[in-house]
Amino acid sequence: MNVLPAFPTDVSARPHRLTGPGFAAIAIGIGFNIPYALLTMNFDYPGVLRRPASEALALFAAGGPALIATWYGFAVAAIALIPIAIALAITPRRLATRPALAIGAAIAGALSGLVQAIGLLRWVFAVPMLAQARLAADADPLAGRAATLVHEVLNLWGGVAIGEHLGQILLALFVGQLALLQHDEARPLQAGIGLTTAGALLVGSLEGPALALGAAVPAFTSATIAGFLGLTLWLLLTGWRHRDG
């Protein structure tokens, strides 16, 4: 006896209504680009991540409180992904038909938001002190060299390893699994963009291991940029067509 609730295969036939999770997906699809754009204009982001530590710290010190606030806003956008990913992935229909994909997408999205926020928050709570120590390098050369070294370690561990590499892999898993669900729900446009986005993010995540091996591969950087552009479009479409059922 089949005890599962009956759901229509083609959800596109149902009347459209913008849901709370859908609105949130649209908001974060637009919102995370705001601090990103500000950092690009005011802090040479993401190029600054590959600059020598002394240059990056000098630029950071020149940015002042406004730059710290921008980084905090970027981290908040990552934290906001946690509940939004869960709400987008887990619906009654998906739990009934493809529970593994739904739960897997929710877990991957939530973890991605968490680890990316951890990486980004170093710019709010740790880097300001390092930038000030670097500014005082003339009076205390030892402190200046220590600040440079600590920044390099934080950038490689908190930034490249946790925020970029691990965070990007988890983000790709979230988008990819949700795109597979969208494919099952007869949403080929969202599914196609989502799977392409997930692939680009996975390719871009290889930049971290390449840097660890001493190789600079511009194609990985380009893939990351393409992946996040695709993510913006996918979030907007996913939010617009999301259904709670």
Whether residue 70 contacts residue 39, with contact meaning beta carbons closer than 8 Å, is answered with yes
Whether residue 69 contacts residue 44, with contact meaning beta carbons closer than 8 Å, is answered with no
Distances 132 to 42, 63, 95 between C-alpha atoms, Å:
19, 12, 51
Query: In this predicted structure, what is the pLDDT of residue 4?
Result: 46
Whether residue 155 contacts residue 53, with contact meaning beta carbons closer than 8 Å, is answered with yes
Query: In this predicted structure, what is the pLDDT of residue 139?
Result: 75
Query: In this predicted structure, what is the pLDDT of residue 16?
Result: 59
Summarize pLDDT for 168-193 with one digit per residue, the tens.
999 999 999 999 999 999 999 999 99
Cα(141)–Cα(133) distance, integer angstroms: 9
DSSP string, 71-87: HHHHHHHHHHHHHHHHH
Query: In this predicted structure, what is the pLDDT of residue 1?
Result: 44
Q: For the chain, 245 residues long, give each residue's pLDDT as a single digit of tens.
A: 444 444 444 444 455 577 888 999 999 999 999 999 999 999 999 889 888 998 999 999 999 999 999 999 999 999 999 999 999 999 999 999 999 999 999 999 999 999 999 999 999 999 999 999 988 876 788 888 899 999 999 999 999 999 999 999 999 999 999 999 999 999 999 999 999 999 999 999 999 999 889 888 889 999 999 999 999 999 999 999 887 64
Cα(104)–Cα(187) distance, integer angstroms: 19
**Sequence-separated contacts (24+) of 11-16 with Cβ below 8 Å:** 11/93, 11/185, 11/186, 11/187, 11/243, 11/245, 12/186, 12/187, 12/241, 14/243, 14/245, 16/241
> From the centroid of its chain, how far is CA 191?
19
Query: In this predicted structure, what is the pLDDT of residue 18?
Result: 77
Q: To 5 degrees, how large is the angle CA 234–CA 240–CA 245?
A: 110
Summarize pLDDT for 6-47 with one digit per residue, the tens.
444 444 445 557 788 899 999 999 999 999 999 999 999 988
